[in-house]
Chain A
């Protein structure tokens, strides 16, 4: 008998599915995108079997679409994630997130003495540095310090 591919969480009529999130990053993605504060239905799964990654997490956000800036936020903690836009139960757009070369506005510089943390209205600006192991560091345009992944804090 053919194995059903259907997920245990029902399909959404309109909205966005974020798939292939590292299993331990789902709650972080929920928080980053502010999905813990929306009034529309949000479904999520963790430790779901994945052929590609072993386990994965996913989020289905009804009636919610993301701007490029939001997608960038996802890429920083879940670089393997794919964003699937749904309209009338049909996939209308699917893209894999890519880590941008630069990040503006959305992440705090970890350096408490950086001008972006000391002065009002100085937006953060980083160059993304990716090493051979795939680790990401954000090089601050202003204070020239590197914010590592474990110190990422979103604005």
Chain B
């Protein structure tokens, strides 16, 4: 069965079936081998960032340039008609008449879904508040599959701010497709929201909650670290956890920024798998 994603928006990871997700990962693998493809020649891509971003915006814009496309847009609302009170619908409708594709980050939750409904061109959600960040999720899945050789039947330990971390929510949803087992490590105040846990329960999958990381490490295939979402949480105090030696095949995906990165000790077999938060050769796969 052939899978076509032509003219499809990407708003939430749940919009894509497991087969479609794997198809995107397969394409990404090809891109990693041959990143300089002129596929966007003559195309205009709108990069609309309504809130600050460094890594995501530059990843997208670099990928567009590498693929031969042109970028229009803005990196903040300063100097745009949004400052004059223009509605999101009007902004998107206008931009859609210039661009072939819209990449949007917006602090308002659900704004990307709404944009995709008023836009005549596809929309890629580059983060909508605390809701979804599906392209980050795609890249996390890519890293997991690349290091583990599979997405099936893995035990994944999610650590940090599980309440506000939108990439955690997306990743849990995605990994539920692949029969994952989840270890949830967070302070009590930052536990995974019940709506996301319900998603795991609905699929009869297993999850365990911890406040200490050391209990989950020994049997983890993946350790997924997140930073505290300081902009959403008034008390960023977070104790650095103690570490024990993980399973020999354990891989850590980290999204921590340098200033908030947890201390690593006694993990001789670990390999750090970078995400789009760090510039890598896989940048163009972030489509």
List residues of chain A with CB under 8 Å of any chain B CB.
111, 113-116, 118-122, 140-146
Q: CA of A140 to CA of B114 in the docked complex: distance in angstroms?
A: 12
- Complex: A144 Cα to B113 Cα, angstroms: 10
Q: Which of B54-62, B102-110, B144-152, B260-268 contacts A (4 or more CB under 8 A)?
A: B102-110
Say whether B109 contacts A146, CB under 8 Å: no
Q: A119-B88, A142-B114 are known contacts. Are A113 and B108 too (CB-CB below 8 A)?
A: yes
The answer to whether A115 and B87 touch across the interface, beta carbons within 8 angstroms, is no
Residue positions of B touching A, CB distance < 8 A: 12, 87-89, 107-111, 113-114, 128-132, 195
| Residue from A111, A116, A119, A143 whose CB has the most chain B CB atoms within 10 Å | A143
The residue that A119 contacts in the complex, of B89, B107, B128, with Cβ under 8 A, is B89
Please, how many angstroms separate the alpha-carbon atoms of A141 and B116 in the complex?
Answer: 12
- Residues of chain A lying within 8 A (CB to CB) of residue B88: 115, 119
B131 touches A143 (CB 8 A): yes
Check B109–A113 contact: CB distance below 8 A: yes
Cβ of A116: which chain B residues have Cβ within 8 Å of it? 110
Closest B residue to A115 by beta carbon equals B110
Rounded to whole angstroms, the CA-CA distance of A121 and B108 in the bound complex is: 15
Q: A113-B129, A119-B88, A120-B87 are in contact. Are A140 and B195 (CB under 8 A)?
A: no
Selected A-B contacts with CB under 8 Å, 9 pairs = A113-B107, A113-B108, A114-B109, A114-B110, A122-B89, A144-B110, A144-B131, A145-B195, A146-B195
Taking a contact as CB atoms under 8 Å apart, the answer to whether A121 and B109 are in contact is no
Question: Which chain B residues lie closer than 8 Å to A145 at the CB level?
Answer: 109, 195
Q: In angstroms, how far is the closest chain B Cβ from the Cβ of A114?
A: 5
Shortest CB–CB separation between residue B85 and chain A, in angstroms? Answer: 10
Q: Which of A115, A122, A141, A146 has the most CB of B within 10 A?
A: A115
Nearest first, the 3 closest Cβ-Cβ pairs linking A and B are A142-B110, A143-B109, A143-B110
Q: A-B pairs with CB below 8 Å: how many?
A: 51
The CA of A118 and the CA of B114, in the complex, are separated in Å by 12
Contact call A140/B110, Cβ cutoff below 8 A: yes
Closest Cβ of chain B: how far from A106's Cβ, in Å?
A: 17
Between B87, B89, B114, B128, the greatest number of chain A beta carbons within 10 A of the residue's beta carbon is seen for: B114
A41 nearest CB across to chain B (Å): 42
Chain A nearest CB, measured from B113 CB (Å): 5
Contact call A115/B111, Cβ cutoff below 8 A: yes
Which chain B positions have C-beta within 8 A of A144?
A: 12, 109-110, 131-132
Contact indicator A141/B113 (Cβ below 8 Å): yes
Determine how close the nearest CB of chain A comes to the CB of B129; give it in whole angstroms: 5
Contacts of A120 in B (CB 8 A): 87
Partner of A122, one of B114, B132, B195: B114
A115 to B110, CA, bound (A): 5
Q: Which residues does chain A contribute within 8 Å of B195, judged by CB atoms?
A: 145-146
Q: A122-B114, A142-B114 are in contact. Are A111 and B89 (CB under 8 A)?
A: no
Instruction: Using CB atoms, name the residue of chain B closest to A112.
Output: B109
CB neighbours of B114 from chain A (8 A)? 115, 119, 122, 142
